[in-house]
Amino acid sequence: MKIVDTKGQLCPAPLIGTRKALRESAEGDSFIVIIDNKTSLDNVKRFLRDNNTLFEVSEKEGIWEVTITKSEAELSNENVEDYCTTGIAHFEKGDFVIAVTSDKMGEGDEELGKLLMVNFIKAVKDLDKLPAKMVFYNRGVTLAVKGSETAKDLDDIEKMGVELLFCATCVNYYKLEKEIETGIQSNMFVIAEALASAGNIVRP
């Protein structure tokens, strides 16, 4: 098995050696990193945990051997719990922003409009490419009121890595400050910037 000996090296050199060896390893390969100071050991462990990399540590007289196995998840840094709740593994984002300006989709019957919006939000999760961002203003913000069907879907979308921006003025206007826990409450500058920098804007 390949051995990376970092004895005598101070932080961050052991971490640099570890990362280099990880890069050079094929999936499933194992290697050993030898570390002789506790700070560097802790930092390497933390790095491996953050990157979902499997490892075991053994100690002999103040020298630690960290056996590392390269796994598929090496370079990502998802919170495992967040990852599991959605059950959706593809998080590719497109160059578009969804602007949700109402709690209804399209003109016409109110009840139908609301139902369509619920379905639209649900459908966003299944898009081949997720939106870069979603912005919510005017009655659009009400879709995130906790307990509602759409709030659950928006939570999932956020966990998939989509930034949800809610117009803070609108949230305050509809007195929903305590009802919305998803996303980021933003001012008009941030919302305008999100819209202005979007490749395309999708308005349901």
Q: Which residues are catalytic?
A: 11
Site string for other proteins, 95-134 (x = CB under 8 A): ----------------------------------------
Query: Least CB distance from residue 46 to other proteins, whole Å?
Result: 5
Q: Specify whether the CB–CB gap between 146 and 118 falls below 8 A.
A: no
Half-sphere exposure of 147 (CA within 13 A, CB side): 3
Is residue 188 at the binding interface for other proteins, with CB under 8 A as the rule?
yes
Spatial neighbors of 169 by CB under 8 A, at least 6 apart, are 187, 188
Residue count (the chain): 204
- With contacts defined by CB under 8 A, name the span among 34-42, 98-106, 121-129, 134-142 that binds other proteins: 34-42
Residue from 190, 195, 201, 202 binding other proteins (CB under 8 A) = 190
Q: What are the structure tokens assigned to 161, written together? A: 């890595």
Name the 3-class secondary structure at 158.
Answer: helix
Distance of CA 174 to the CA centre of its chain: 29
Interacting residues with other proteins (CB under 8 A): 10-13, 15-20, 39-40, 42-43, 46-47, 50-51, 75-79, 82-83, 91, 159-161, 163, 168, 177, 181, 184-190
